[in-house]
Amino acid sequence: METANAEKKGINKNLIIIIAAVVVAIIALVVGGIFIFGEKTYRVLKIYQVEGQASVVHSDGSEVTPYENMLLQSGDQISLVEGTLIIKADEDKYIYLENNTTIILEADGTAANSRTSIQLVEGAVINQIEEPLSSKSVYELNTQNATMSVRGTIFRAEVFTVAPDEDDADVSGNTVSAADELSGSAGGSTEEDIVYTTAQTIEGTIQTDLILPDGSKGNQVQVVDFGNMVTIRQDTTATAYLGGIQKFDIKKFKSQTLGYLGIIQKNSDKDLGVTPEELEELQENAGPFTVTFMSSDDVVFGTVEVEKGEPVKEPLLMPTASGSWDFNFGNSVSENTTIYWKAGK
């Protein structure tokens, strides 16, 4: 009996040792898997900061209201009507959406070897890539008529349309005729809107190329370095660079753009060509501005807020049956403005 009990205890002891060894082995495999595969499991795409009116539409068509730290999916359509929206990809890439902007975000690969693709449907975004990408990683932004790729930089891209009969776009702070600048190469008559894309390099270097009306690349690469920009114009017949590489003036940025640059400068200590104090002053003077409409008897007829560089729209109603506003409504505003009504006889 004692011999049997001893054998039984020995078997139990061996069984415990075996189970313990298996547990240790499993733990080792799990820990090893974390170290070996952890970096390659997935990429993190999330809403970093959001305020105001925004939405996220998943690829299945479902729509949700974004919130901070909300995880995004590849293929999501993210829109900001008004407010603040910052997206964080991995740990070193940030996308800042300006008002009235919609993007489609696609991402795959690993944090180390990643592919990030942004389709800028409308509006403007600032892209910040803190760490240089690996040789196998890709970060690109596309619009209808342009593509941009980077390795590590800060740049702003904007896409907008202009009606053919108003094709006199304000680019680089200068009003130019697109048709004249292109010498007719892409300035033909068309009933469809003209598409413009601007790309401004705020830090580092970006590489741009054209996307032709048929969707193919134009193979006309332009390297745009710090402080410079390109403007790309497309109608139904052709796509072309407008005016070549030009300097841009950071003072012409709107308040929201300058605010985002202030966040970047504060969090990353980047040299953006202006000091934090200068950037703060620029933001204070960037608007929006109040436009006041005064009737002929010096009574306020109405007020409206206008962003810097935007034109003032003429009111639909008039203070009197006849007369006109003493203002050229094709002009943009850069300060608080009062517009007076001249009553007709």
Tens of pLDDT along 104-157?
999 888 777 888 999 999 999 999 998 888 888 899 999 999 999 997 799 999
Do residues 154 and 216 both lie within one domain? yes
Do residues 209 and 326 both lie within one domain? no
Do residues 193 and 91 both lie within one domain? yes
The better pLDDT of the pair 128, 190 is held by 128
Give the residue from 241, 267, 282 where a domain finishes.
282
SS3 35: helix
Burial class (CB in 10 A: 0-12, 13-18, 19+), 174: exposed
Given its phi and psi angles, is residue 280 left (phi above 0), alpha (psi -120 to 50 degrees) or beta?
alpha
Do residues 273 and 322 both lie within one domain? no
Burial class (CB in 10 A: 0-12, 13-18, 19+), 92: middle
* Mean of per-residue pLDDT scores for the chain: 82
Give the residue from 251, 282, 313 where a domain finishes.
282
Domain assignment present for 2: no
Q: Are 209 and 220 in contact (CB under 8 A)?
A: yes
From the list 99, 86, 134, 124, the residue with the least C-alpha distance to 267 is 86
**Taking residues 272-285, what's their average pLDDT?**
84
Do residues 309 and 164 both lie within one domain? no
Q: Which domain holds residue 33?
A: 8-40
The total number of structural domains that make up the chain: 3
Do residues 178 and 133 both lie within one domain? yes
30 has pLDDT over 80: no
